[in-house]
Amino acid sequence: MHPARATRLIFLLSGIGMASWAPMVPYAKARLGLDDAMLGLVLLCMGCGAVAAMPLAGFLSNRYGNRDVICISALLVCVALPLLTVVPNVYALGAALLFFGASLGVVDVAMNAHAVDVEKHAGRPMMSGFHGLFSVGGLVGSAGMAGLLKVGAPLTGSALAVSAALLVIVLTQWRHFLVRLDDDGQTHSIFRLPSASVFLLGFLCLVVFLAEGAMLDWSAVFLRFSRGFDPSLAGLGYAAFSVAMASGRLLGDRITASLGPVSIVRFGAFVAALGFFLATLLPWGPTALLGFVLVGLGASNIVPVLFSAAGRQPNTSPGIAIAAVTSLGYAGMLAGPAVIGFVAHLSSLSIALCGVAVLLIVVSCCASIARR
């Protein structure tokens, strides 16, 4: 099925493009002489660009169709990646990251809206598998870029090589994406507010993305300072979470078809909450790692199911609904780790992570919103 293959490859492209930036960050810091505070501020530009562009992406997908929006924004990602390696100062880097993040944000919304159409054509769950390819792309992108730099390839040359590989995906798959617009044939205003159910789906995504952001930014800190891990081993927590999440998503379509989307959200959020409680309330390192594995497994298929539910909302363009849900989710990923840090400063990191677990229990209680 050519549209399904094209969708899988564009999710892979998005994961590779986003993750390829991570090994480039230390080079940008050293080349431009940035301190940690300035670097942290500049890195926010990528997420801000993505969140700002997502509502526009929903409108463009509804107006012009997912195919052209996906492919044009993916071409912009190919341009932006090497641009990040040659900018002359911190202001240009911030602007380039805004452009890079906006391009990725538009790809993200359009490819998820397209994935909803592909699911409808296939008549079976496919979203988890698509998101699994995004996770695989993240591993491939970070490892591939790091490998090129490790063997001595120049930074700009490495970025150009990755962009060339992504360009091949775009050019070979462009004609295989579905052309069809929304079933109702209407053009929805970008200024029209989505329904309350879409905002609820967005809130649930915000909580799950917050949990993912907590794992990214705080799992190593927790293992190092709360469980006494050696600094060289503190990254094992996020590695365990990432492998569990990728594995869960690659198997998720069959599980969703068997259990149904409501059960995926209800039990997945409960398992993820249990993982946080296990990691924080028991004082042993191995149980913390097991808890992070449970967080990855439990959370792995919630967001794909919620995105599918957003794309099925009545009287709402799938692109605009997914744009709203994705924007709220990314806002949680951006702001969540900072909120966790603030709560941890006032109390402890364990209490802050338990707060995330409580929010996941709320997600579990709201699972019926994902009903087909």
Encode pLDDT of 187-200 as tens digits: 445 445 677 889 99
Please, what are the domains in the chain?
A: 2-174 (1.20.1250.20), 196-370 (1.20.1250.20)
Using CA of residue 247, residue 50, residue 44, residue 21, what is the dihedral sign? positive
Name 215's Cβ contacts closer than 8 Å, sequence gap at least 6.
237, 238, 241, 292, 295, 296
Distance (Å, whole) CA 286 – CA 279: 9
Give the confidence band of 86 by pLDDT, cuts at 50, 70, 90: very high
Of 115-119, 291-295, 323-327, highest mean pLDDT = 291-295
Q: Taking a C-beta distance cutoff of 8 angstroms, is the pair 353, 98 a contact?
A: no
Helix (H, G, I), strand (E, B) or coil at 116: helix
Closest CA to 322 of 87, 140, 62, 137: 62
CA–CA dist 164, 167 (Å, integer): 5
Q: What is the pLDDT of residues 109-133, one digit of tens each?
A: 999 889 988 988 888 889 999 999 9
Q: Residue 359, class by beta-carbon neighbours within 10 Å (0-12 exposed, 13-18 middle, 19+ buried)?
A: buried
**Mean local confidence (pLDDT), 287-312:** 94
